[in-house]
Amino acid sequence: MNRSLIASTLVAALTAAFACGAQAQTKATMAEANAMVKKGISYIKTNGKDKGHAEITNKAGAFVDRDLYLVVYAMDGTVRAHGANDKMVGKNLLDIKDIDGKEYVRERVELAKTKNNFTQDYKFTDPTTKKIAPKTMYCEKLDDAVVCGGVYK
């Protein structure tokens, strides 16, 4: 009976540890976001803006992975590609604010005017949970645009 209890406890502990590990892998990491931004920039440079923006906006495409997706903004705040919401493409979001009143798109394009790459913190809706969450965005300037991908905390 004692061996049975030990075995049951061990199985329960291993199952819980595996579940925690699997859950941790459902969220993208900052390293994955950085790599995806670089991959997106390379794709745009190789295939052109039209094809690149279309692939980034494709929810079943190469630039959407769990809660990680890319967004491309023109330097005036107009969305050129959006991996989580294709309805945003063509809209100018320069004045949009997060839940705390931060004009994150305005800040993003202003940072891109002076830096080739940067990170930015704000709050946004996590596409997997549909809840507002803190997010860190990694962005790189590409010609007259900024390409970004981020992680939810």
User: Phi and psi at residue 91, in whole multiples of 5°?
Assistant: -90, 140
pTM exceeding 0.85: no
68 in any annotated domain: yes
For residue 22, tell me if it sits in a domain: no
Domain count, the chain: 1
**Any idea what the CATH number is for the domain that residue 118 is in?**
3.30.450.20
48 assigned to some structural domain = yes
**Residues 122-142: pLDDT tens digits?**
999 988 889 999 999 999 999
Q: pLDDT digits over 58-117, tens only?
A: 999 999 999 999 999 999 999 999 999 999 999 999 999 999 999 999 999 999 999 999
- Does 3 map to a domain? no
Please give the residue range of the domain that contains residue 83.
28-152
Does residue 72 lie in a domain region? yes
7, part of any domain: no
